[in-house]
Amino acid sequence: MRKTPIAEWLLAHVAGRDRSAAIMGDLEELAASRSRLWFWIEYLRTLISLGWRTGGSAFILAFVCVRFMYGTVIQWLMNHRAPTLMQAGLFGVYNLHVRIITWNISMVMAQVLCFATPFVVIRFGLRNRLTQLACALFVIGIPFYTLRPWVMDLSGLLSVLIIAAVLVATPWRKPLAILAGTCLSAIAVKVIYLFLLPSVFHHRHIPWMPSSWVDATSFAFAAIVCVYLHHWLLQRPVASDRTIA
């Protein structure tokens, strides 16, 4: 490991410090009777086998899912939308301003979940509470894009009920906090680019970037926040398990 600090660091990022130290030690011990070429082949094989769920690969696959969702699934749903959004919904006609606010919240949440859900599925697996919560909210939120008022109303209501239930259930609060941080970080990047920068530059010399790049930047930032919060809130040992040492 002293001879390959970069390889050690990369493996530690994928497998954890203790596990990577053991793996590197075994590889270097076996390489002593073989060759450096064998060492690097086995190292790459180990890195790939352990790293397919890392943030990088999860991000790429999740971003591909986003492009598919918006290019195929959501496009199909919107092609079957209602003629007008101002018709009576699930609860009849209520305050228009409240309805617009709830619809915008549902739309933004569904958009971010198109990325967050496949990301956490690949990164953390289906048995993770964060993954299960993201999947539940995604299944409820995606019908919003049918743009049928009663479906949009129902989607918003069910989302609120699930979030309220999660806030009551202690084991689910941390996954909700992680998901909220992930969504808010992606939204923050888009708000900065779409609203803050134009106001700063007064609509002149605004740094131009294709929409796909803006999405990639916002989702990359969201992925970093998601992994950090997951490690901090769900993977870090509780206080009772720690020692002064």
Q: What is the pLDDT of residues 128-165, one digit of tens each?
A: 999 999 999 998 888 777 777 777 778 878 888 888 89
Which pLDDT value is given to residue 23? Answer: 84
Please report the pLDDT score of residue 150 as a whole number: 78
Q: What is the mean pLDDT of residues 187-200?
A: 77
> What pLDDT shows up at residue 236?
61
pLDDT at 84: 54
Once rounded to an integer, what is the mean pLDDT over residues 90-110? Answer: 64
Residue 241 has pLDDT above 60, yes or no: no
Q: Is the pLDDT of residue 14 over 70?
A: no
Instruction: Express each pLDDT in 44-88 by its tens digit.
Output: 888 766 765 566 677 877 888 887 877 777 677 667 665 555 555
Average pLDDT, the chain: 76
Backbone dihedral angles phi then psi of residue 104, each to the nearest 5 degrees: -65, -40
**Mean pLDDT, residues 222-245 taken together:** 70
Share of the chain above pLDDT 90, in %: 11
pLDDT at 2: 43
Neighbour tally for 60: CB within 10 Å: 12
Assess whether pLDDT exceeds 80 at residue 208: no
Task: Report which of 83, 118, 122, 104 is spatially closest to residue 159, judged by C-alpha positions.
Answer: 104
Query: In the prediction, which pLDDT does 6 show?
Result: 73
- pLDDT greater than 90 at residue 213: no
Taking each helix axis as running N to C, give the angle between helix 129-141 and helix 149-168, from 0 to 180 degrees, rounded to the nearest 10.
Answer: 160
pTM score above 0.85? no
Q: Which of 146, 188, 160 is nearest to 102 (CA)?
A: 160
232 has pLDDT over 50: yes
So where are the chain's domains?
5-51, 55-239
* Residues of the chain above pLDDT 70, percent: 70
Tokens of 150: 């009663």
Rounded to 5°, the CA angle 150-155-157 comes to 95
Give the separation between CA 104 and CA 27, rounded to whole angstroms.
Answer: 53
pLDDT, average across residues 31-50: 81
Task: Please tell me the distance from the alpha carbon of residue 159 to that of residue 109, in angstroms, as a whole number.
Answer: 10
